[in-house]
Structure 1
């Protein structure tokens, strides 16, 4: 009887344990095309974004993060998040389009229902001469080690956002 009691007590203890309501979210924007309102520039700040229906991944690059590159060479630039770059994940109450970012007066709808700003990571930009247009630099943007922590202190751990996309700038 004593063995049965301890067995039942052990089972009850295991079943009643809580994992703290841990939820793992996936942020997947790799297959979504990069968008922007004004053509990317090496001399001004850049706002780049990816829209996936009611979710948006926003990348803000300070002036100079997209470097000049060197004709005939591959140049790799790393930018800290937060720091010279910022990554933000937003969820809206309805599908959103680029007018939300590009219109002089943003639309009132859809409304942001949740926003999480990256607290760690880096943006890695590889710059080469564009193989399709020798008057431009091609900047391949990758995200590395991006870490989001929600308002309820939960870390979003399953991130599929390593390939942010490619942009071009004119060779001076």
Structure 2
């Protein structure tokens, strides 16, 4: 009889542990989709989250963590109770995105259990998503950034006492690039050259390409012969090709050619052209034709130019027409 009672007691304890593991000890959202609550540019923080049938995992962090800054190694952020927050919640009914993002949350479902992370580290590894569809011109474009998020030594304060995970994978978070890198063609009329800075530029609403400190021998008031453009190579001192993206305003010609660059719109990404190799890559070509008796039209083409930020690279293509600028002999 004692033997049977012992077996029954053991079975009861085992079932109790199983229930605790399911509802409390084991949480895993790695294979679920990451969602976010939309915000405008005036809000500096963002809420991203994952949902299961009756569970949510919330991550509240500054937006600049997801600013499209690719790195070969992760960046780390300390978890706290203010601006780097991690919260797990269980509900008494099915949870949906509008329950999380609504200004006035629905009355149901209600939270029946909450864990708040009190310490640990958020690890974020950022990588660009490259589109390689343009095989004819051998160009690539960054169409999104993928963020792999992992929690290290995270401790949750939960009803049953603190619990620590040495490694807890939140999973991936994908943000499409906006504006998509060079998806909008630059208008020929937007191109220009700065008189003092000797910078050549072209742009659209939120992007620009400049050739800083361009070699003066490339822009000359002389017509070039057919199939004989002037050429120069990208390098660290002259012919520096820079691609930038911006936020907080719309670019106009007035933005360029200032000794002190304007602060609005602000630069969000900065990509530098990789130094050229004669006859192979990183080549600037200029073809010059007449405009009337005293004018000259210079067409600037970038050949086999790649742009780099850290360890990340994308290709403008075998041929990329930057634009046309005009000069006069008088």
- Unmatched tracts of structure 2, length 5 or more: 1-15, 132-140, 182-244, 246-330
- From 154, 158, 173, give the equivalent of 1:146: 154
How is 1:95-106 mapped onto 2 (pairs within 5 angstroms)? 95-106=94-105
Match of 2:144 in 1: 136
1:40 to 1:47, Cα distance in 2 relative to 1, 3 A: farther
CA contact (8 A) 2:152 2:167 kept: no
Secondary structure of the residue that 1:167 maps to in structure 2?
strand
Which structure 2 residues correspond to residues 72-151 of structure 1 after superposition, within 5 A?
Answer: 74=72, 76-82=74-80, 84-132=83-131, 134-151=142-159
Indicate whether 1:162 and 2:162 are aligned. Answer: no
How many Å separate the matches in 2 of 1:141 and 1:151?
Answer: 26
Say how many residue pairs are matched.
Answer: 149
| CA positional deviation for 1:69 | 1.2
TM-fit CA distance, 1:39: 7.5
Aligned partners of 1:40, 1:146: CA distance in 2, in Å?
A: 30
Deviations along 1:16-68, whole A, 9 cap, x unmatched?
Answer: xxxxx985511111111111122798x83110111111111001112322244
Q: Secondary structure at 1:65's aligned position in 2?
A: helix
Tell me the secondary structure at the aligned position of residue 162 of structure 1. Answer: strand
Task: Decide whether the 8 Å contact of 1:129 with 1:136 is kept in 2.
Answer: yes
In structure 1, runs of 5+ residues without a counterpart are 1-20
**Cα distance in 1 for residues equivalent to 2:37 and 2:156:** 25
TM-score (norm 1): 0.71
Query: Is the CA contact 1:65–1:84 (under 8 Å) kept in the aligned structure 2?
Result: no
Secondary structure of 1:49's counterpart equals: strand
Q: What is the TM-score with the length of structure 2 in the denominator?
A: 0.40
Q: Distance in 1 between matches of 2:92 and 2:56?
A: 12
Structure 1 residue matching 2:66: 3-state secondary structure: coil
Using the alignment, how far apart are the partners of 2:173 and 2:159 within structure 1?
A: 31
Is the CA contact 1:141–1:163 (under 8 Å) kept in the aligned structure 2? yes
| Root-mean-square deviation (Å) | 3.1
Change (3 A) 1:115 1:33: same
